[in-house]
Chains A and B, each alone.
Chain A
Amino acid sequence: MSGQVLEVEDLRVRLRTPRGPADVVNGLSYTVGPGETVAVVGESGSGKSVSVLALLGLLPARVATVTGRAVLQGEDLLTMKPERLRQVRGPGAGMVFQDPMTSLNPVLTVGRQLVEGIRAHGDVSKAAARRRAADLLGEVGLPDPERALDRYPHELSGGMRQRVVIAIALSNSPALLIADEATTALDVTVQAQIIDLIEGLQADRGTGVIWITHDLGVVAGIADRVLVMYGGRCVEDGTVDDVLERPAHPYTRGLLGALPDLAQPAVDGVVPDLATVPGTPPAPTDLPEGCVFWPRCPVRGDARCEHEQPPLVQIGSGPGLPHRAATWCTEEAP
Chain B
Amino acid sequence: MNAVTAVDASDVLVSVRGLEVHFPVRGEGIRKKGAGVLRAVDGVDLDILRGETLGLVGESGCGKSTLGNAVLRLIPPTGGSIDFAGTDVTSVGGKGLRELRRRAGMVFQDPFASLDPRRTVAQTVSEPLEVHGLRSGKRERAARVGELLELVGLDPAVAGRYPHEFSGGQRQRVGIARALAGEPDFLVCDEAIASLDVSVQAQVLNLLRRLQKQLGLTLLFISHDLSAVRHISDRIAVMYLGRIVEIGPASAVGSDPQMPYTQALLSAVPVPHPALERQRQRVVLRGDVPSPAAVPSGCRFRTRCPYVFEPCDDVDPALQPAGAPGQLAACHLHGVVGTPVERTPEGVPAEP
Contacts and interface: CB of A to CB of B under 8 A. Distances in A.
Contacts of B266: 262
Given A187-B224, A265-B231, A274-B206, A258 B199 contact: yes
B288 interface: yes
Interface stretch (B3-11, B112-120, B181-189, B277-285): B277-285
B24 interface: no
Contacts of B203: 276
A124 interface: no
A32 B39 CA distance: 48
Interface residues of A, number: 46
* Chain B CB within 10 Å, residue with most, of A158, A215, A259: A259
Given A189-B264, A220-B273, A280-B167, A43 B287 contact: no
Interface string A246-288: 0000000011111111110110000101111100100000000
Contacts of B285: 189, 193
Given A143-B287, A259-B272, A188 B265 contact: yes
A109 interface: no
A220 B280 CA distance: 11
Contact of B284 (A193, A220, A277): A193
Nearest to B62: A187
A157 interface: yes
A161 to B, nearest CB: 11
A214 interface: yes
Contacts of B226: 188, 262
A214 B197 contact: yes
Contacts of A273: 206, 209
* Chain A CB within 10 Å, residue with most, of B198, B201, B205, B232: B198
B277 A221 contact: yes
B273 A245 contact: yes
A188 B199 contact: no
A215 B232 CA distance: 19
B202 A258 contact: yes
A192 interface: yes
Contacts of A219: 272
Contacts of B199: 43, 254-255, 258, 276-277
Interface residues of B, number: 45
Contact of B254 (A158, A160, A254, A262): A262
A159 B251 CA distance: 30
Contacts of B201: 258
A82 interface: no
A160 B205 contact: no
B269 interface: yes
B60 A187 contact: yes
Contacts of A257: 202
B59 interface: yes
A21 interface: no
Interface in A193-218: 193, 196, 214-218
Contacts of B273: 220, 244-245, 263
Contacts of A192: 267-268, 282, 284
Nearest to A185: B60
Nearest to B250: A265
A272 to B, nearest CB: 10
Interface of B: 59-60, 167, 169, 197-199, 201-203, 205-206, 209, 224, 226-228, 230-232, 250-251, 254, 264-278, 280, 282, 284-285, 287-289
7 contacts: A258-B202, A260-B230, A261-B272, A262-B271, A273-B206, A274-B202, A280-B169
Which 10 residue pairs are nearest across A and B when measured between Cβ atoms? A217-B270, A260-B231, A258-B202, A274-B202, A187-B59, A277-B199, A216-B272, A192-B268, A221-B277, A188-B268
